[in-house]
Structures are given as structure tokens and as C-alpha cells.
């Protein structure tokens, strides 16, 4: 993995959402692994993080033959969610320790979690702090909805989400987390933001972050764009200096994901 001229190494993460149980997940990874691993050998390649459903993590890990969660191959695994408690009577939930046995990373506060499962900035913040305490890299998602976008409220919403979802980090934690700017109107719609729109909001996120944690943390924190990223538009996003990679949904379920990885590196700043 090569650091970009910003000093921030790019990340391409694939959020499979509720797709591919263990059998299908293993089959898909067997199919893409040779070309994906080869693509990741090239200089300037991003870190690639696959985020299958929790029930498929072990199957994917077995195919990738990852020796242990602590080692850093160029393909890492992430969970799509977790709870903040250590253990106990929380039916259906995963604890940070459980996630850490198989993953380096966890996506938190995805808009689908916020919309369908009532997750608030406060809950996302608790989960973020718990992930960090357990050595997991959180990818914390924020972004405005269509109505907020249309009515010019994006900057306001982003300010609220950054301050509440990312509160109370230590200076070291503030450097480690990853933020994903995912405008809800662009998720799964085929209507991606332009590179310019995404970069402007991401620059604002970096400024908010600087107000919270200082210039040094703001210059190293990685901020991804997510929302209808494809192999055709990834290069446009990567050409912008504040965008450090992508969180990819639908397009991470197909072999074309390998081209997203390839095209991300070609023009990475």
C-alpha cells in the first residue's frame, strides 16, 4: 500500500449489505480473489476492505486464508454493524470483541441503520468509542437526505452529525477512525454525487473535524465518499484531494469491484 501525496493511504471498502450468505460469499470471493489480489499488488493500490454479512465473515475469511485479524494483508474484513456492550442479554447483537476476532474494521451508522433501525448520532458515537477501545477501525457514515440536500441544509446536517457521532475521541483515536460521507440521495440510486460536490462536503467535514481535534488529526483522518460508486466514476472521486477512497455498496457485489480497485489507483492524488 502506498501513501498518497496527502500522506493518507486510500481505502476501497465493499459493503455487501444483506447479500450473500456463507455459501454464495465463499463462491464470490473464490471468483474475485486472484484478480483482486493481483490488482492490489500494483504501486499506489488502496487497502481493500470486504464487509460481508456477519454470518458470512468466517466463510470469506477461510477463502482469503487470513491468518489472524491483527495481521495486515491488503484485503481486510469489516463488519457492517455491532453493538457497544461487551456481552450479555442483547439478542441478535454482536460485541466488539466478537467482531475483532474476524475483522479489523466495522462500518457504523450507515444510513440504512439510521433509517430502518432508528440509530441516532448518540448511539453511533457509543459504538464508535467501543470499536476504538477494542482495536477496531470504525468507518463512521454520515450524510444528508434528499430533502436536506435540495433545501441547502447539507452543511448544517454535516456539522450536527460530525459533532455528535464523532464526539469524545482521544487525540490518538481521532487519527485512527475513518469517516464515510454518504449522501443518502446517492445511495443505491445510481445518482452519484459529482466529485466536486463530494469533495466540497468532505472538505467541510475535515474543517469540522479540525475544530474538534486540531489540524494534525484533520490532516490524517481518512474520509471516503459513498453513493453509487462504480468502476466508471471512481477515478473522478479519487482525483479530488480531500477524498481518500470509497465505500461501495451495489457495485461491490460484482467482479467489476476489481476494476473499482484498479481505477482508484490510476489517478490517486
C-alpha distances out from residue 52 to 21, 68, 115, 248, Å: 8, 17, 20, 12
d(CA 119, CA 162): 15
Q: Cα dihedral sign for 21, 192, 154, 164? A: positive
# residues near ligand PEP by CB under 6 A:
14
Smallest gap from Cβ 75 to ligand PEP, in A, equals: 18
For residue 105, state whether it binds ligand PEP (rule: CB under 6 A): no
Residues 9-38 that bind ligand PEP (CB under 6 A): 15, 17
- 143 touches ligand PEP by CB under 6 A: no
Please report how close the Cβ of residue 78 comes to ligand PEP at its closest, in angstroms.
12
Question: Where do the DSSP E strands lie in 52-136?
Answer: 75-79, 105-108
Least Å distance between CB 67 and ligand PEP?
A: 28
Element (H, E) at 49: strand 47-51
> By CB under 6 A, is residue 228 in contact with ligand PEP?
yes
Query: Strands, DSSP E only, in 62-220?
Result: 75-79, 105-108, 137-142, 178-181
Q: Is 100 a catalytic residue?
A: no
226 binds ligand PEP (CB under 6 A): yes
- Residues whose CB is less than 8 angstroms from the CB of residue 49 and which lie 6 or more positions away in sequence, other chains included: 11, 12, 13, 14, 75, 76, 77, 78, 104, 105, 139
Is residue 208 flagged as an active site residue? no
Stretch touching ligand PEP by CB under 6 A, among 33-41, 168-176, 203-211, 220-228: 220-228
Check residue 188 for interaction with ligand PEP (CB under 6 A): yes
Tell me the residue number closest to ligand PEP, measured at CB.
Answer: 249
Q: Which is nearer to ligand PEP, 40 or 139 (CB)?
A: 139
Q: Which residue is catalytic, options 182, 208, 236, 268?
A: 182
Set 76, 100, 110, 144: catalytic member: 110
Site for ligand PEP in 234-263 (CB under 6 A): 247-251
Q: Is 175 left (phi over 0), alpha (psi -120 to 50) or beta?
A: alpha
Residue 249's closest CA among 61, 51, 75, 33? 51
Half-sphere exposure of 52 (CA within 13 A, CB side): 25
Member of 57, 201, 202, 229 binding ligand PEP (CB under 6 A): 229
Footprint on residues 30-89 left by ligand PEP (CB under 6 A):
none
Catalytic positions: 110, 182
Binding residues for ligand PEP, rule: CB under 6 A, are 15, 17, 182, 187-188, 226-229, 247-251
Amino acid at each position: 500500500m502506498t501513501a498518497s501525496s496527502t500522506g493518507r493511504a486510500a481505502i476501497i471498502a465493499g459493503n455487501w449489505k444483506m447479500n450473500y450468505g456463507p455459501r454464495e460469499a465463499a463462491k464470490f470471493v473464490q471468483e474475485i480473489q486472484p484478480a483482486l489480489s493481483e490488482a492490489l499488488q500494483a504501486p499506489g493500490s488502496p487497502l481493500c476492505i470486504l464487509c460481508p454479512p456477519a454470518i458470512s465473515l468466517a466463510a470469506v475469511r477461510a477463502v482469503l486464508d487470513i491468518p489472524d485479524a491483527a495481521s495486515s494483508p491488503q484485503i481486510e474484513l469489516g463488519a457492517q454493524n455491532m453493538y457497544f456492550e461487551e456481552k450479555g442479554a442483547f439478542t441478535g447483537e454482536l460485541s466488539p470483541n466478537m467482531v475483532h476476532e474476524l475483522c479489523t474494521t466495522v462500518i457504523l451508522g450507515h444510513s440504512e441503520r439510521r433509517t430502518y433501525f432508528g440509530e441516532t448520532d448518540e448511539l453511533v458515537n457509543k459504538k464508535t468509542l467501543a470499536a476504538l477501545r477494542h482495536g477496531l477501525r470504525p468507518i463512521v457514515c454520515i450524510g444528508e437526505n434528499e430533502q436536506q440536500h435540495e433545501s441547502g441544509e447539507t452543511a448544517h446536517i454535516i456539522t450536527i452529525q460530525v459533532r455528535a457521532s464523532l464526539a469524545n475521541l482521544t487525540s490518538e483515536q481521532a487519527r485512527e477512525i475513518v469517516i464515510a460521507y454518504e449522501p443518502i440521495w446517492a445511495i443505491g440510486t445510481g445518482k452519484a454525487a459529482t466529485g466536486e460536490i463530494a469533495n466540497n462536503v468532505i472538505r467541510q467535514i475535515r474543517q469540522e473535524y479540525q475544530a474538534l481535534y486540531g489540524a494534525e488529526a484533520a490532516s490524517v483522518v481518512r474520509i471516503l465518499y459513498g453513493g453509487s460508486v462504480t468502476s466508471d466514476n471512481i477515478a473522478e472521486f479519487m482525483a479530488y484531494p480531500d477524498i481518500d477512497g470509497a465505500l461501495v455498496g451495489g457495485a461491490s457485489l460484482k467482479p467489476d469491484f476489481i476494476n473499482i480497485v484498479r481505477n482508484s489507483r490510476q489517478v490517486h492524488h
